[in-house]
Every structure is written in C-alpha cells, then in structure tokens.
Amino acid sequence: MKTVIIIGAGVGGIATAARLAQKGYDVTVLEKNDRPGGRASLIQEQGYTFDTGPSLFLMPETYAATYTDLGERMEDHLDLARIDPTYRVHFHDGSSIELTGDLLHMREQLEAIEPGSFEAYARFVAEGYRHYTLSIDRFVGRNFYNLLEFFSPANLPMMFQLKALQKHYADVSGYFQSPRLRAALSFQNMYLGLSPFDAPATFTLLQYTELAEGVWYPRGGMYSIVTSLTGIAEGLGVRFQYNTPVTRIDVDGQRATGVTLEGGEQLKADLVIANADLPWVYANLLPDDGTAAKLDRKKFTSATFMFYWGLKGERTDKLMHHNVFLSDDRYRESFHQIFDEHLLPAEPSFYIHAPVRTVPSFAPADGDALMVLVPTGHMDEAHAERQDWPALQQRARRDVLKRLARLGLDDIEERIVFESTFTPPDYLRIWNLAKGAAFGLSHNFSQIGYLRPHNRHARYGNLYFVGASTHPGTGVPIVLLSARLTTERILKEQ
C-alpha cells in the first residue's frame, strides 16, 4: 500500500484524500489549523454562526459527482435550499434589481431599465450555457499533459467559441446598453476574485449557472460540505492531523521523500500532495529553483476585507440572503484601483451574506448574522506605504455602514454585539495565501488550462498539487474538479 501525505485540509485536499483512500492508498492529511476546510471555515460565537469562506452553492452536479464517485449520495449529506431570487443588486442611485430564475419577473425588471433588453438577456444566458457545457466537457474538466494538447487543432476553435480572448465586460456590453445592466451581469467575476474588465468572456457561464441551474445553500451552512467530506474520508481510512504545520517538503534527486514538521519531525511518504496555496508552497516549502519568483510575477486575484457581525434586534427584510452593493459610475475605476493599484477603491462595492433568512438557527431568535465582503487589492510590497491595513479596514467598515444607512439601515453599528474581521495579512497568516489574495492566482488567458501552474511538479515526479492556484482554478466546485483531475493523474502515472 503506497503512502500519501497531503499538506492542507482544504476542500481539495479532503476530496483528493478520500479519492485516493478509496483506491487503496494509505493517506495522511496534515493541517496547520485546528479544523479542516481551509478558507471554507466557520465562526460560532454567542449563538451566531458564520461561514468564513464560500457562501454560494453553485454547480450542484459537480458536488453530486464527487459524492457519487465516493460511493455516496449528495442528498444523504446535504439538505439544499434553492435561493431565489438569487440576490438583490443595489445600484448607487438607490435603484435595484433582483436576479431570479423567474423569467416573467426578470422581463419586467429588465424592460423597465432598458426597453428591449429581455430578448438580449435570453441570448446572453444561452451563450453562458454554451460556454458552460463546452468548458466542463473539454476544458475545465480534463488534464492537459503538454502544450500541443492544449493548442491542438481540436481545441483552438473551442477557444474562440468560448471567447477566451475577449473580455467579459466587453462581451456583456455587446448585449446591453444600460451601465446598470452591464454591471449587474458582470460583477459575478468577483466570486473568483477577478475583474470583469480582465476576465475572459468565457465567464458568462457564471450567469448561466446562477440563473438556470440555480444558487443553493445547505441548511447546515457551507461548512456542512467540509464536515461531510471529512467524515467520508475518515470512513475510507484517511487520517487527519490538525495543528500540524509543515515547514519543508523533503526531496532527494527527482523525488519527494516526505515532509518535515514545525517541530523537526520528518514523515516519509511515497507521494506528497500540496493542497496549500501553490505559490506559497514553491516559496516556502521547496528548494529555490526560480519558480517561486516566476509565480510571484503572475497575476493574483483580489484580497478582501471580511466583517462578521452578530446583531441584536429584529431582522430586516431590506436584506435578502445574498445582497450586492455596486459602486457609482466609477465602476471601471474601482476595479482599476483593486487590480492595478492594489488598493481599496474610493467607493467600494461589497457583498452581504445574510443566511438567517434561510437558516434561522444561525442567530438567536432576536438577532441577525451578517457576513460582509469588501474586495480590495492584494498585498504588494511596491505599494506597502499605501497599504495601511488597519486604516483601510476602518474605512471599508465606515463605507459599508454609510451605504446601509442610505438603505434605511442606519442602526446597524449600534446593534453589533459580536464582530470579527479578516484582512489580507490575516489570509496570509492563517491560510498561507500568497499576497493575502483570497482566491489564489488569477484566471486571465495566460493562466488557464495548460498555461496555469500544473498539478504535478516538473522535477519531482511524485509531488502533486490540488487547489485553487493549479489547474483548473478557484471556487469550491472547480476545486472539487481539481481533486478529481489530480487523482486521475496520480493513478495514471504512479
């Protein structure tokens, strides 16, 4: 029985561990923190419950496929509620739109904003469907073992069909004239920490998955995904060791031989898989061969300020389960400030997750639980003098409260009885995310498919990677695909 050490108990590490254990491997997962999940973690304080990571359950068939591959039924582990309308988008002028799978309601709203836009919307969603099916079948859901496979005669036409060289915002603008609709149907790139002005138009697939397949939420919270997959893995024989930081991947010649722990203990293994953030692994756990510096020059996703507020008092109907607040007519400028200047925008857009509307037990009967996500630039030494994180955190907090007051929620601050916050340096310190970038490496054209960091090390043939910064990319359902692809590669090569 071959032994495997997996560094990191994120969703990708857990799923890979379960898949390999099912195939007869002896798997140990080493996690630096005190619980599994990585960024997909949990806060439970004073009767309030918060997901600290993902809050939208998209692409349910990808989750279902993972459970099926492990001999389980997703329905036996997750009680899913469909969230519809998916969210309410608030514009700077006080108007709003509810994005929903109800076509009649969508038609009324779209036509009120831009007459004639519903027909364009139908074509837009149809394009998203084409991008989604093509991507999953032939691009995202497969390994590329060499450059010729990626740029093969069969693949090249597909890249044009996916509009991989066109920007998402430009593509949306081809369908809609209204700046509000362009913003409401392009901001979804921020789920992946991307700018719609830089992300490939391929990502119209996000709008399709939301509006056609639906946005869902487990009644046990997103962390119930982590606990169920961890339980399945343990049932298959996987061992999890928590509070166990790894300080080095040990190598000899062309092979990884195991790992060294923080206390100096060395553990041997036939295979090593890194689920920790890939750029951080190259910079901190492996001998310097120049790769870390190359990765450091790549594009990274945004960072975020996270606020977790436990509120006392009556729950407001002015907030839905998912809520998006977009900045003013400087929408493009706000993304420039995040992704080019690596700063907090002058007027930030933000997202609020209010799960108590679906799971009342996430707050006391006389309270509410809000998670606020404010995108900001990642850590950058070149802009260090302008990245005063405590000051920027306070400004982000003030801006959110001011915007909520305009909605009529002017008593939020005085109702806060519990508060916790994460900043970009916290993402680096707690989860070893390079530059504090909350979603890992970016997904511009030069960082997708075979051009993205590979899921096996070029020199050490038994060292593999799984997670957001390797192929195919970030987001929980995509990371579950990463676990399947890494496992398939191991079974093929080892």
Integer Cα distance of 175 and 173 in angstroms: 5
Of 112, 119, 117, 131, nearest to 188 by C-alpha is 131
**What is the DSSP secondary-structure string of 5-56?**
EEE--BHHHHHHHHHHHHTT-EEEEE-SSSSSBTTS-EEEETTEEEESS---
Integer Cα distance of 309 and 328 in angstroms: 25
pLDDT at 340 over 90: yes
For residue 467, the model assigns a pLDDT of 97
Average pLDDT score over residue span 48-73: 96
Structure token pair of residue 253: 């010649």
Q: Give the E-state strand segments of 46-201 in sequence order.
A: 48-51, 80-83, 87-90, 96-99
The three-state secondary structure class of 255 is: strand
Residue 250 CB coordination number (10 Å): 17
% residues pLDDT > 70 (the chain) = 100
pLDDT at 171 over 80: yes
pLDDT tens per residue, range 395-408: 999 999 999 999 99
pLDDT tens per residue, range 285-296: 999 999 999 999
pLDDT at 353 over 90: yes
pLDDT at 328 over 80: no
Positive or negative, the CA dihedral 68, 70, 75, 78 is: negative
Integer Cα distance of 188 and 211 in angstroms: 12
Integer Cα distance of 203 and 200 in angstroms: 6
Question: 137 pLDDT band (50/70/90 cuts)?
Answer: confident
What is residue 458's DSSP assignment?
Answer: S
Structure token pair of residue 313: 């008092």
Pairwise pLDDT comparison (164 vs 356), residue with the higher score: 356
Structure token pair of residue 455: 């899921």
State the average pLDDT for the chain: 95
DSSP-assigned beta bridge partners for residue 305: 374
pLDDT at 346 over 90: yes
Integer Cα distance of 36 and 482 in angstroms: 18
Of 79, 60, 33, nearest to 361 by C-alpha is 79
Cα angle 325, 328, 333 (rounded to 5 degrees) comes to 110
pLDDT tens per residue, range 372-382: 999 999 999 98
For residue 193, the model assigns a pLDDT of 87
pLDDT at 191 over 90: no
For residue 155, the model assigns a pLDDT of 86
pLDDT at 208 over 80: yes
On whether the CB atoms of residues 205 and 140 are closer than 8 A, the answer is no
For residue 283, the model assigns a pLDDT of 98
pLDDT at 463 over 90: yes
Q: For the chain, give the number of residues.
A: 494
Average pLDDT score over residue span 120-127: 95
Out of 50-64, 72-86, 178-192, 476-490, least confident range: 178-192
pLDDT at 232 over 80: yes
Average pLDDT score over residue span 45-52: 97
Interacting residues of 111 by C-beta distance below 8 A, sequence separation 6+: 117, 118
For residue 313, the model assigns a pLDDT of 95
pLDDT tens per residue, range 407-446: 999 999 999 999 999 999 999 999 999 999 999 999 988 9
> Strands 367-376 and 303-312: what pairing?
antiparallel
% residues pLDDT > 90 (the chain) = 90
pLDDT at 329 over 80: no
Integer Cα distance of 257 and 266 in angstroms: 10
Long-range contacts of 44-47 (CB under 8 A, 24+ apart): 45/310, 45/418, 45/420, 46/310, 46/417, 46/418, 47/310, 47/363, 47/364, 47/367
Structure token pair of residue 187: 């901001």
Pairwise pLDDT comparison (70 vs 137), residue with the higher score: 70
For residue 339, the model assigns a pLDDT of 95
Average pLDDT score over residue span 355-379: 97
Integer Cα distance of 18 and 476 in angstroms: 16
Average pLDDT score over residue span 305-314: 97
Integer Cα distance of 198 and 300 in angstroms: 12
pLDDT at 254 over 90: yes
Alpha helices in 23-102 (DSSP H): 60-69
